[in-house]
Amino acid sequence: MEVEGSLAGRELVSLPQSLFSRIAIKSLDLSRNQIHEVPIELSHLLNLKTLNLSKNKLDDKSFPPVLENLVFLEELNLAGNNLTEIPSFVLHLPRLKVLKLAENKITYIPSALSKVTTLERLYLGDNQLSSIPPKISDLTNLRLLSLANNKITNVPETMKDMENLICLQLHNNRINFLPRGIVDLQNLEDISLRGNPLINRFVREITYSPPSLLELAGRSVIHHQLDFSKLPVVLKQRLSHAKCCPNPNCDGVYFDDLYRQIKFADFCGRYRMPLLQFLCSPQCMMPETDDSSASTDDESYNPRTMRRVLLG
């Protein structure tokens, strides 16, 4: 039973007819050729799960709509071509998990892409994108989103709902503001922001305002373990959302009023990266020392309240 086939790097302009009789094939690599047009016959390979057409000469007119018949396709690589938009057949692939469209000339992300809810990894770096559609948050299974090296100016507030997102690449864009909800995503481990105008603002605008009386009262109730069972429902709900200070030497909590600190830490012994810490008071600030940059120190912090942010 034939599973894989490769015609990569053959300088092919068209595909051999013999290829289309190999209906059992599940993985096909046609990368690094000179293909200008995808023939209708490719849709006959109904068992395809992986299709690589990267680094060819494909443009917006190269794909017949009948390619949507590739209903078992899970991974599609169209990187390094001449596309200015996402091919329409892509929006009708019911099992697509990985879509690679980097290094093209794509100018926008259609809202209809939100219907491809099976997507887990989406690569759109090195294009001509200027915005992110709010409906991208409908891609609830997305774990990796790469939008680096574009012309994006804003990140939609709706992205705070992408709860399965682990890696978000936004470096080298024109972003001036990042919605607060992004760094609150529970599963987000890596967010790359270098090469954006927001970086200077991010560091410059860290300010510390006195906590409100409501904030202080809530902290005191939690700290002294007082009985709040008879409080109004609204106040009980608030008290149940107390966040522990990540400083291991502090047993304090906070609700809305938090203190932010950027600590530069050594990452894998090669790069110094700022870590954004959320603390309950200025007294929890820890001075930067050579020892404090060791990656082992960071292990003692709660990963749910601290995110690694790549700024430079």
Contact 198, 238 (CB under 8 A): no
What pLDDT, on a 0 to 100 scale, did the predictor assign at position 225? 81
Side-by-side strand order, sheet with 271-279: 4-6, 27-29, 50-52, 75-77, 98-100, 121-123, 144-146, 167-169, 190-192, 306-310, 271-279, 259-267
Residue 194 or residue 149, greater confidence: 149
User: What are 4's strand-pairing partners?
Assistant: 27
Is 0.75 surpassed by the pTM of this model? no
Return d(Cα 235, Cα 263) in angstroms, integer: 34
Strand, helix or coil for residue 216: helix
* pLDDT of 308 over the 70 cut: no
Beta strands in the chain (DSSP E): 4-6, 27-29, 50-52, 75-77, 98-100, 121-123, 144-146, 167-169, 190-192, 243-244, 253-254, 259-267, 271-279, 306-310
**Residues facing residue 99 across a β-bridge:** 76, 122
Q: What phi and psi, each to the nearest 5 degrees, are found at residue 206?
A: -70, 110
Angle at alpha carbon of residue 13, lines to 29 and 65, rounded to 5°: 70
Confidence of residue 56 (pLDDT cuts 50, 70, 90): very high
- Please check the confidence at residue 277 and state whether its pLDDT lies above 80: no
User: If pLDDT is split at 50, 70 and 90, which confidence band does 227 have?
Assistant: confident
Are the beta carbons of 79 and 56 closer than 8 angstroms? no
Domains and CATH numbers, the chain: 4-204 (3.80.10.10), 206-312 (no CATH)
The pLDDT of residue 293 is above 80: no
* 3-state SS string for 66-94: HHHHCCCCCEEECCCCCCCCCCHHHHHCC
Contacts of 104 (CB under 8 A, 6+ apart): 78, 79, 80, 81, 82, 83, 84, 126, 127
pLDDT, mean over the chain? 82
